[in-house]
Amino acid sequence: MKKILFFIILLLMASEMNFAQRPFQERPFHPVNPQIGQPRILVDTVFAKCTWGENFSETSAFIERSKDGLRDTFYYTHHYTNPLTEIIVHEYDADNRLISIKSKILPAASFYVLIEYEYDSSGRLTRLAEWSLPGVFESYDYSTIVYTDSSYILNDIEYVFDAEDRLIRAGEITYSYFENGYSENLGPYAKTIYYFLENGYLSKKIFYKLFEEEWIQHTVWETAYRYKADNPNNPNSNATIKNTLRKVYGIDGAVMIYSGKPETVRIYAVSGLIVRNIQTSPGNQSISLSKGFYIVKMGDQAYKVMVR
């Protein structure tokens, strides 16, 4: 029984590994600069939902930052049949370069290293050590990269870039880009489409499989972000309400509302035209809206929010 339990834990850890290494900020991997296009997550709370078929799982995380700005700690709750709590720590150097990602799944007492980066004096990546499971890792010496006019060759894998220095092929995997995202083509039968917000944060990714010459949606990941009112990085477009019974904030394509009791919610356009009039139940609720500014009125309070 103990062996079976240990094996299940390893599977859970492995299933979360890709999620943990680059949470909510996925971009095609650049072999010289792994942080190209991958902004540091500066919100206070992240919500994610994964849907496959009629099943789904949810993940939420609140983030703490060290006073010196060199460490971000993500406290994840993965809502499986039994909730799983994971702590992931991102460590940065004085130049704001990511140098390590560590993780532990409670009730474990110690962290294990997921990935480590080393850089030269000009900021170029020189070494990457990546652990697939505790005690098992691969290390790459980036000083051995072979350069061509539009590509790099590293460990027998060719990385090809376009004129904008965007990765368009890594080995057999190809990438194509559109206005707010890109497609990762994993071969003739599978692909993943990624969508991003204006600030570069991942908002959605969809995995497709080819079945009888038709692309079938297999799995959908959706992500939302929230700032605290006193967060210095808050762009003031998403207002988080201090009232402990109410929270109202804008996300990508919707307004998120939390209320501790049933109440009437009225949503107005800035022109004064009412666009929604609904009765909420206690808890969280998402209301789909077009991009723009809105006034949300709940009881005797009104909140200005922006939907991206």
Give the DSSP letter string of 136-196: EEEEEEGGGPEE-SSEEEETTEEEEE-TTS-EEEETTEEEEEETTEEEEEEETTEEEEEEE
Cα-flanking dihedrals φ and ψ of residue 5, to 5°?
A: -60, -45
Q: Are residues 20 and 153 in the same domain?
A: yes
- Of 163, 191, 224, the one marking the end of a domain is 224
Do 186 and 293 share a structural domain?
no
d(CA 293, CA 297): 13
Judgement on whether residues 133 and 236 belong to the same structural domain of the protein: no
pLDDT reported for residue 176: 93
Q: Are residues 156 and 32 in the same domain?
A: yes
Low-confidence ranges of the chain (pLDDT < 50): 1-25, 237-244
Residue 162's pLDDT is 85
Tell whether 267 and 201 lie within a shared domain: no
Q: What is the pLDDT of residue 191?
A: 95
- CA 130, CA 81: separation in Å to the nearest integer? 29
Does one domain contain both 203 and 113? Answer: yes
Shared-domain flag, residues 219 and 235: no
Looking at the fold, whether 201 and 88 belong to one and the same domain comes out as yes
- Confidence at residue 19, expressed as pLDDT on a 0 to 100 scale: 33
**Structure token digits, residue 299:** 């009881």
pLDDT attached to residue 36:
57
Residue 116 sits in the same domain as residue 244: no
CATH of the domain at 248: 2.60.40.3080
CB 125 within 8 A of CB 107: no
Q: Are residue 142 and residue 282 in the same domain, yes or no?
A: no
The pLDDT tens digits of the residues spanning 211-255 come to 888 999 999 999 888 888 777 777 654 444 343 357 788 888 888
Total domain count for the chain? 2
What pLDDT does residue 244 have?
Answer: 39
- Residue 218 pairs in a beta bridge with none
Record the pTM: 0.63
The residue among 160, 191, 224 that closes a domain is 224
Q: Taken in order 176, 140, 39, 241, is the CA torsion positive or negative?
A: positive
The position carrying tokens 């010459």 is: 213
Which residue segment(s) compose the domain that 19 sits in?
2-224
**Which pLDDT belongs to residue 239?**
45
Question: Domain ends where: 196, 224, 252?
Answer: 224
